[in-house]
Amino acid sequence: MDGVHRGALIDNLCRAIDSLNVSAPMNIHHLELYYYVAKHGGVSAAARRIPYGIQQPAVSAQIIQLEANLGMTLFHRRPFQLTKAGEELYRFIEPFFGGLNDVAQRLRGGGEMNIRIGSPETIQREYLPRLFKLMRLRFPGLNFTLVAGRTEQIEAGLLAQEIDVGIAPLLGKRADGIKRKELTRVPLALMVPGNFKPASANELWRQDRIAEPLITGPKDSGISQLFQIELQKRKVDWFPTLELNSQELIARYVAEGFGLGLVLVEPGATPPHGTRLLALPGFPTVSYGLLWMGILSPLQKAFFQETQTLAGAFPQKTKR
């Protein structure tokens, strides 16, 4: 069980102990050691079963201190037998310490190995299937839930505890509590019809006026804002005609002839039939990586390890 949940449960137990009107303070660690001693019938047996390293003399010393604080004997040593006071204390603390593992399992989702992942649709289609095949070799019972969205939507899902991890462009200011780790950097590109002329972005910028409609994501997204900043540096005025919510939609509308689409060359992405990617030389690459909150669970750590293993397969540039 993680420290936050264990601490909250221990606080509840301490309040319950206070309700007993015991005059001397009781150390929660001493109570935990006593639980193992009472359950397993002696100090030696307890020391062998306590799930963290502690030697028998240390157990004995802390149990003696607990008895001193209470002003009473809790058990007879030879032969081992709980006293009446010891039996009463054990009955009181046993539901708490005995139920810790069950509570931890429920907090982790009933013991099921499940991970909820937020990412763009392209990642879910092209990249995550390979990743989950690797994960299921390590965790045969793994289940997963996928949520599609942009970076800001993924961060909102993390803050609301609706997802466990995200894979997304790392653009813009990080929301409070969100942690990020870069996996790779990927380029921006224009998705154009296969027979589109001119043949390069620089030829496009030299036109007096770009006639083709521009299709982008929402204009307030980090990618759209970055693109407009770079256009301004080149003294090019070209603003979106269509604003769509995903790169999947942008690709579809380009393929249907509605204009040229601004896309991020996401890991595993391939342009639809009849289209191609036009490189944007001189434009900055975009950091792409992992997002999460708090302390990583063992399952999340394994997911991150496999993700980083596959990161080398991410495309790094487009064809000119």
The pLDDT tens digits of the residues spanning 118-159 come to 998 888 888 899 899 988 888 888 889 999 988 889 999 999
Question: Domain locations in the chain?
Answer: 3-107, 114-185+287-313, 188-284
| CATH number of the 114-185+287-313 domain | 3.40.190.10
Whether 3-107 and 188-284 share one fold: the answer is no
Is the pLDDT reported for residue 207 higher than 60? yes
Residue 313's pLDDT band (cuts 50, 70, 90): low
**CB contact set of 87 (below 8 Å; sequence gap of 6+):** none
For tokens 């793994």, name the residue: 142
Task: Give the lowest-confidence range in 114-118, 122-126, 212-216.
Answer: 122-126
Query: In this predicted structure, what is the pLDDT of residue 270?
Result: 78
Is the pLDDT reported for residue 277 higher than 70? yes
Average pLDDT (87-100) is: 90
Residue 216's pLDDT band (cuts 50, 70, 90): very high
Query: In this predicted structure, what is the pLDDT of residue 316?
Result: 47
Does the domain at residues 188-284 carry the CATH identifier 3.40.190.10? yes
Backbone angles phi, psi at 272, to 5 degrees: -65, 160
Average pLDDT (303-318) is: 69
User: Over pLDDT 70: what percentage of the chain?
Assistant: 86
Q: Helix or strand or coil: residue 268? A: coil
DSSP letters spanning 72-110 = S--EETTTTEE-HHHHHHHHHHHHHHHTHHHHHHHHTTT
Candidates 1.10.540.10, 1.10.10.10, 1.20.1560.10, 3.40.50.150; CATH matching 3-107? 1.10.10.10
Q: Which has more confidence, 171 or 292?
A: 292
Whether the link from the prior residue into 198 is cis, omega within 30° of 0, is yes
Q: Helix or strand or coil: residue 278? A: strand
User: Alpha helix (H) ranges present in the chain?
Assistant: 3-18, 28-40, 43-49, 56-70, 84-98, 100-107, 121-126, 128-138, 151-159, 201-205, 222-233, 247-255, 298-310
- Contact criterion met (CB below 8 Å) for 95 and 83: no
Whether the link from the prior residue into 187 is cis, omega within 30° of 0, is no
Q: Which of 70, 80, 82 is nearest to 20 (CA)?
A: 70
- Long-range contacts made by residues 267-271, C-beta under 8 angstroms, separation at least 24? 267/122, 267/123, 267/126, 267/127, 267/184, 267/186, 267/311, 267/313, 267/314, 267/315, 268/122, 268/123, 268/125, 268/126, 268/127, 268/313, 268/314, 268/315, 269/122, 269/126, 269/315, 270/126, 271/191
Q: Which of 84, 37, 82, 79 is nearest to 61 (CA)?
A: 37
The pLDDT tens digits of the residues spanning 221-243 come to 889 999 999 999 999 999 999 99
Query: In this predicted structure, what is the pLDDT of residue 173?
Result: 80
Cβ count near 46 (within 10 Å): 22
- Contact criterion met (CB below 8 Å) for 123 and 268: yes
Fill in the amino acid letter for 291. Answer: L
The pLDDT tens digits of the residues spanning 36-87 come to 999 999 999 999 888 888 899 999 999 999 999 888 999 998 899 999 999 9
What are the tokens at 305? 């390890």
Compute, in degrees rounded to 10, the torsion defined by CA atoms 148, 151, 152, 156: 60
Average pLDDT for the chain: 85
The Cα–Cα gap between 260 and 191 comes to 6
Query: In this predicted structure, what is the pLDDT of residue 3?
Result: 47
Task: Give the lowest-confidence range in 8-12, 190-194, 250-254.
Answer: 8-12
Is the pLDDT reported for residue 315 higher than 50? no
- The pTM of the full predicted model, rounded to 2 decimals, is 0.61
Backbone angles phi, psi at 186, to 5 degrees: -130, 155
Q: Helix or strand or coil: residue 39? A: helix
Is the pLDDT reported for residue 171 higher than 60? yes
Residue 317's pLDDT band (cuts 50, 70, 90): very low
Query: In this predicted structure, what is the pLDDT of residue 24?
Result: 53
Q: Helix or strand or coil: residue 194? A: coil
